[in-house]
Amino acid sequence: MSAEQSRLRQEQREEQRNDEIQASAQSEGKEFATVEELLRYDSEQNPVPPGVAERLGRTLENEPKQEKPWYKRIFES
């Protein structure tokens, strides 16, 4: 299989998936009260690619740990 055929098949699969998503969204007629609800729904429908999740995890591991807030340092001593 040539690279061109592979690319075309991939595009066709993506178009088909997009059409299915649009059809289901239109038939469901979803309405959201808040932006947060919309984002939660969208994240359920679109999983994070494994490569992105791995890079994000590595990035977060390298972030400096946040210091406890002053009130927790005082009252939890």
Give the pLDDT of residue 25: 62
Q: What is the 3-state secondary structure (H, E, C) of the chain?
A: CCHHHHHHHHHHHHHHHHHHHHHHHHHHCCCCCCHHHHHHHHHHHCCCCHHHHHHHHHHHHHCCCCCCCHHHHHHCC
Give the pLDDT of residue 12: 87
Model confidence pLDDT, tens digit, residues 11-69: 888 888 888 877 776 666 788 899 999 999 998 989 889 999 999 999 999 888 888 88
Give the pLDDT of residue 77: 65
Residue ranges of domains in the chain:
3-75
